[in-house]
Structure 1
Amino acid sequence: MSAWISAWTLSSLFSVFATVAIAADAPPLKVCLDEDRPPLSAHRRGKPDAGFDVTLAQAIADKLGRPLKIQWFETKLDEEASPQLEANALLSDGRCSLVGGYALTKDTLVVPGMKTARMPDFDGATREDRRRRIELGVLVPSQPYVYSPMTVVLGPKARDRKINEIGDLAGLRLVIESGSLGDAILMTFDKGRLIDSITHLVPGRDDLLGALNRGDFDATLLDLGRFDAHRTAHPDTAISASGYYYPIGANRGYVGLASDPALIEAVNKALGELAAEGKIAEFGKQAGLTYLPPREPAILGDVWKLIIQR
């Protein structure tokens, strides 16, 4: 019996060693993440990489038996930026096989209207990389792993205001970034009823949340994750969450290229297992994210049409 047990133990050990060896030889799972989108992802010089998407990407790589390699990139907050084209260019150039934290909407997943695009600035980019135009592929999404709604955030003078719908913002001094989704929602609400109360700031130049924190304005409408990031960086902030979520929101997931369907299938399997284990919600909590599970529809339809119709 002891001999049989010894043989079984050796066999098991050899199996484990073989699995480890295979994993060590496996190509890395290359995931592109935004370097400045806490609490989803953050890459700071001299500090460990952190964020919900970092932890989730590592868990998926572990499920697939592959080492993880993160390609950090920078998204500029301006009206000319195109996250869809930038993600496609990174994938099509082979900088990564997946882009994480991608908003799953119909318009961000359409076949691009142009054949080439430039990549965003990324970690390790050369001058030539910044000039090159990349031939684009076709994007395909994974299943979603987090719901990302718009939320009303209140300044210190309006912190006790009850917000159950956009109409409850009437009478408040509103501030919004030009060209943003929040801008479209507020400007078109009830045939423009709030227009005279809205001040527009320039994205990437003006400090929206800073102005709200100072009490210059009473309320804004922005992505929930952005408020989470501000609250994490400024625990003593004077602005507060209203608890209201605009009913039109987008799920976030991974996006890859249609030329590698096997990877998306494997990632979906891993996401399903992690969700069933309660790990994804746990990762969100650890990162300081107000985690909301994905909602139907998995891919949001025409956002602007939905807003106008409300």
Structure 2
Amino acid sequence: MRGRRAAWSIAAVLSTMASVAVAADDPLKICLDEDRPPFSMHHRGKPDAGFDVLLAQAMAERLGRKLTIQWFESKLDEDSSPQLEANALLSDRRCSLVGGYALTQDSLVAPGMKTARLPDFAGATRDDRRRRVALGVLAPSQPYVYSPMTVVLGPKASGRKIGDIGDLAGLRLVIESGSLGDAILMTFDKGRLIDNITHLVPGRDDLLGALQRGDHDATLIDLGRFDAHRAAHPDTAITASGYYYPIGANRGYVGLASDGVLIDAVNKALTGLAAEGKIAEFGRQAGLTYLPPREPAILGDVWMKIIQR
């Protein structure tokens, strides 16, 4: 009997060791948007770059696994959304994690649709572009960066002190229709700023270019978007006001709820990297104005928060 127990014990140990070895050999697959500077960039003839690329490399090293980045292209249409795209990529096992995911309650709820199309991704076939994927349930990691909205000033308003949205009164404002910034500016103080707002069509009009030319005085955009513009145009005449709208979202990784062991390992790695100051350093290297995560970790109903302000 004792010999049999010893045999079973040795077998269990060998099985565990084999599982660990397999996990170590299995690459850590992370999906990243190929064109979202300064977070992630993947362009032909240029090295991969961005904050999320540096973090993914450090994450894989911390977990003792090789890194494979699955690049995808986010194109919104009536049948898609960032939530559905991420879910489809994860559910199709194109990756185990999606990086740079905005952690909001509505982006983490169980999808109302049972299936969704995959976004275009590196290596996709014609069949991949046609088929639909059965969706799973998403689970977030702890956040690793805070992504707020910020007021950006045109050359004629440079130096204007902005401590609140109300300080934009009297300025010529420009915003993209249907954006979060649009909702904030249009509803502020019962519409006090409406008469000074010009709307542009996203994807067609050049918002920051119009601001650069001096056609307008100020806008409200995601901080990362301004960082990307400043990196691409180091001589730009538009400037950061230093004001951050008080309602912002953290970003982190998202995976499937069924991969809870991986999410736990990722959280431990993120805690260690943050404590060592490495995540903030990745932000500086990528040209990102890095802000550490803030409470609440997962943002609630942002639209109600804006309307109630």
The alpha-carbon distance between structure 1 residues 131 and 113, as it changes in their structure 2 partners (threshold 3 A), is same
Q: How many residues align?
A: 291
Code of the residue aligned with 2:173 in structure 1: it is: L
Equivalent residues in 2 for 1:1-310, closer than 5 Å: 22=21, 26-76=25-75, 82-310=81-309
User: What is the rounded CA distance, in whole Å, between the counterparts of 1:288 and 1:195 in structure 2?
Assistant: 34
The alpha-carbon distance between structure 1 residues 79 and 242, as it changes in their structure 2 partners (threshold 3 A), is farther
Q: Deviations over 1:161-184 (max 9, x none)?
A: 111000011111111111111111
Code of the residue aligned with 2:50 in structure 1: it is: G
SS at match of 2:121: coil
Residue 8 of structure 2: aligned partner: none
Check the 8 A contact 2:80/2:116 in 1, yes or no.
Answer: no
User: What is the rounded CA distance, in whole Å, between the counterparts of 2:220 and 2:98 in structure 1?
Assistant: 26
The alpha-carbon distance between structure 1 residues 33 and 25, as it changes in their structure 2 partners (threshold 3 A), is same
- Which segment drifts farther, 109-118 or 21-30? 21-30
Moved over 6 A (4+): 77-80
Q: Percent identity?
A: 84
Residue 11 of structure 1: aligned partner: none
TM-score of the pair, normalised by structure 1: 0.91
Check the 8 A contact 2:80/2:117 in 1, yes or no.
Answer: no
Q: Which structure 2 segments of 5+ residues have no match?
A: 1-16
Q: For the aligned residues, what is the CA RMSD? A: 1.7
TM-score of the pair, normalised by structure 2: 0.91
Check the 8 A contact 1:23/1:67 in 2, yes or no.
Answer: no
Check the 8 A contact 2:54/2:282 in 1, yes or no.
Answer: yes
Quote the offset at 1:219 in angstroms: 0.7
Q: Which structure 1 segments of 5+ residues have no match?
A: 1-17
Check the 8 A contact 1:79/1:179 in 2, yes or no.
Answer: no
The alpha-carbon distance between structure 1 residues 277 and 257, as it changes in their structure 2 partners (threshold 3 A), is same
User: What is the rounded CA distance, in whole Å, between the counterparts of 1:254 and 1:211 in structure 2?
Assistant: 34
Quote the offset at 1:160 in angstroms: 1.7
Code of the residue aligned with 2:200 in structure 1: it is: L
